[in-house]
A and B are shown apart, each in its own frame.
Chain A
């Protein structure tokens, strides 16, 4: 380490080194090192799939790690379950608050260690103790109320209070601010600062870089399962961190000239919005055009995609298809207008896991045709085999359940599902997430090919290099708002990073 600071004169409270984790066919973590000093807030950064959550799961015993050593206060530890980790002193609080919504605040706080008198739970004592504990965190609430009658921020604080009471050495906060508004974030940060004073080490995972700089002392950045840097935040800029996260060397690289010219106007989006989800969004999209949607996670990429596809209903704005106003209130109508959406979350919104690859490929086309008109088996096989070949989907048999395919092949099968409907407007949400390098390149080449064939595409991605490679225009989102549109020579990773990091500077 180049930076010397008083804190580092102390030994780290938690020192994980050489942590590795393999999944079938993939290395999720490759010799990762994480050092936590007492009384520091340590940000763990990286785009999705970088290995943050796998690392956390290895540290808290939710996963068995395949290699590496964890030392807590100098002693080697080996947590075998989250409860085990908790007992050792490592507590975790997740974004989707892991408390029971049907119980009261006090019951949640004291689950498993309720104060008893004569064998019975002493609710009065429990509520009193809970009120005291929460007041220590600046919360003046009635802990006898059900958890769900409070805001998520309050629920987070309750979860933190529980974790601290049970563990008390290391606290891991996994995206605690993802669904909080500014005031709530302030409340949470007050609590974090207080815990820092008490000497706890806090791991803070978030996608909001402003918050990282506001509250954290140090950051470890992961990319593709490896540590790409550890930085003292006082000494670096947001720009540096984004560069690390996205893995871009900031040489100015102009996008290659895209062959072919955009065709006629297909889609006009005028101020389409949904309250609390995405601010008014406007876009004109031509055939033979790929519009990239850039922005960090939580910037509104997925929300925009869902809005256009009717998976989420807009509450304001208009959508014009070939000049005619069109109302799309559900995916079925979108598909009827030859829209298609490959969703971000393959597992919950994309694949139908137990069904065969063949059924999965044919699903959308069949749904559009209606159940009365089954696609003949020979045609189904023809379509499925065509796409298996065209997209190079590797499988043992078309009859195998799609859940058994690798991520990349699942993604290609989903692409095949939508291509089979011969869409005019294809929305891809993180098409290359979590898939291997080979499939990655193939999907990018495919996007290129589809564009040349006159399809209109909207691709949301966190991979800048990729966006630069295939986009004819890039729309940058930040805080659920459209902040910048880049065209032609402007499309460089550098410009996108600037636009994401700071819209003012980016606009210059």
Chain B
């Protein structure tokens, strides 16, 4: 059901606070952080960079949020990015237009997603295992398409998808904001979101209530494949070439992190795409603060790991429960432990 604005705001408050803190850190180390200038027909600025560089993970986490809401996970998105980028690059180098290349890349992504979906929904293979297959084989397939080289291209239309602008705003930003809005509307203005959540919380009940969980599961993985394909095209367009080895490498992990930082439980159920997108921005802002602080770049990963660990530990159900217990300081009512769920939910009175 459509989420009313106040409840959405309440849902994403923790993420907004974290984002504000990280952005504040950015400002602290780099006072001009929020400055935005307009030159050569496009906007520039560190904040713009955060939004621009965060595009691939933001796109991935749209699909990933849906998958995780069904109690699943999609490890293959990084590999699918590589496949889609390779497809697009090989299509334009074969002389096709950028439209064909984009559609071709999206079709491959959809195919990969459908494959994952069938393994999960029909063959009933654990999602982490099912998507591992494509994660392992996917880069090989991408290299098969590029024949092992970095397939470069100079198709203007395709390049514009990664490096161009729309009304002065970098295209990737426009794409992920548009897709994020579209996806949010698609799940909240229709019944899709609720049905997906129902499957994630209790598939047995959902089936008995008449939900076609099999088809819905396939669709969710398909959507994840599509998002990955789009991210793959953007990354390829940005560097004007398809690098089957490195395109989207380990981005599945960033995307999963973004979803988890977004307060979505890996156990499925209630989800918020907006919160995941903020999670993606948080990750990118962390990268930015490390970069801008002038710290030696070799510290990046350690600091990122520690920050993320801190965010996750704060959000862990156990800690949330502990805080809740301390606050309530009442006697334990039930011997069983409460079902683990995302911290924000636990905090609600």
A24 (CB) vs chain B CBs: closest residue: B333
**A335 and B335 within 8 A (CB):** no
**B191 in contact (CB, < 8 A):** yes
Q: Measured between alpha carbons, how far is A354 from B196 in the docked complex, in Å?
A: 12
Determine if A331 is an interface residue (Cβ-Cβ < 8 Å).
yes
Interface string of A265-308 (1 = CB under 8 A from B): 00000000000000000000000000000000000000000000
B-chain residues with CB within 8 Å of residue A334 when the two chains form the complex = 210
CB <8 Å contact, A64 and B1: no
Residue B269, interface by CB 8 Å: yes
Binds B, one of A178-186, A232-240, A364-372, A436-444: A364-372
**A478 is an interface residue with CB less than 8 A from chain B:** no
* Residue A417 CB within 8 A of the other chain: yes
Say yes or no: is A251 at the interface (Cβ < 8 Å to chain B). Answer: no
Residues of B within 8 A of A23 (CB): 334
Q: Does A341 contact B (CB under 8 A)?
A: yes
With A348-B202, A348-B204 known as contacts, the answer to whether A354 contacts B269 (CB < 8 A) is: yes
In the bound assembly, the distance between CA atoms of A311 and B191 in angstroms comes to 23
Q: Are A352 and B210 within 8 A (Cβ)?
A: no
Q: Is B149 an interface residue (CB 8 A)?
A: no
Count B interface residues, CB 8 Å.
31
Task: Determine if A377 is an interface residue (Cβ-Cβ < 8 Å).
Answer: yes
CB atoms of A352 and B335 under 8 A apart: no
For the residues of B in contact with A, the DSSP-based class is loop
Asked if A380 is at the interface (CB within 8 A of a chain B CB), the reply is yes
Partner of B208, one of A336, A343, A377: A343
A371 x B191 contact (CB < 8 A):
yes
Q: Which residues of A contact B339 (CB under 8 A)?
A: 353, 403
The answer to whether A358 touches B208 (Cβ under 8 A) is no
**Is A355 an interface position by the 8 A CB rule?**
yes
Question: Which residues of chain A have C-beta atoms less than 8 A from B207's C-beta?
Answer: 311, 330-331
Contact of A353 among B202, B208, B333 (CB under 8 A): B202
| In contact, A332 and B201 (Cβ under 8 angstroms) | no
- How far apart sit A341 and B269, CA to CA, in the bound complex (Å)? 23
Whether B191 and A64, one on each chain, are in contact in the complex, defined by CB atoms closer than 8 angstroms, is: no
Which residues of chain B are near A74, meaning CB under 8 Å? none
Residues of chain A within 8 A of B204, CB atoms compared: 348-349
Decide if B270 touches A331 in the complex (CB within 8 Å): no
Query: Are B201 and A331 within 8 A (Cβ)?
Result: no
Bound CA span A341–B205, Å:
11
Most buried by B among A350, A363, A370: A363
* Contact between A371 and B192, CB atoms less than 8 A apart: yes
Q: Does B2 contact A (CB under 8 A)?
A: yes
Which B residue's beta carbon lies closest to that of A306? B208
B202–A366 CB distance below 8 A: no
Question: Among the listed B206, B216, B335, which residue makes an inter-chain contact with A64, where contact means beta carbons less than 8 Å apart?
Answer: B335
Contacts of B212 in A (CB 8 A): 332, 367
Report chain A residues within 8 Å CB of B192: 371
Shortest CB–CB separation between residue A192 and chain B, in angstroms? 30
Is the Cβ of B197 less than 8 Å from the Cβ of A377? no
Quick check: is A101 within 8 A (CB to CB) of the other chain? no
User: Sorted from nearest, which 10 A-B pairs have the closest CB atoms?
Assistant: A367-B210, A335-B210, A364-B209, A354-B269, A374-B191, A367-B211, A371-B191, A371-B192, A354-B201, A366-B191
Q: 13 extra interchain contacts, Cβ-Cβ under 8 A, other than A343-B208, A354-B197?
A: A335-B209, A349-B205, A350-B205, A351-B202, A353-B202, A354-B201, A355-B270, A359-B197, A362-B1, A363-B211, A367-B212, A374-B1, A374-B191
18 contacts between A and B (CB under 8 A): A335-B210, A349-B204, A349-B205, A351-B205, A352-B206, A354-B270, A354-B345, A355-B194, A358-B1, A359-B198, A362-B194, A363-B194, A364-B209, A367-B212, A368-B210, A369-B191, A374-B190, A380-B1
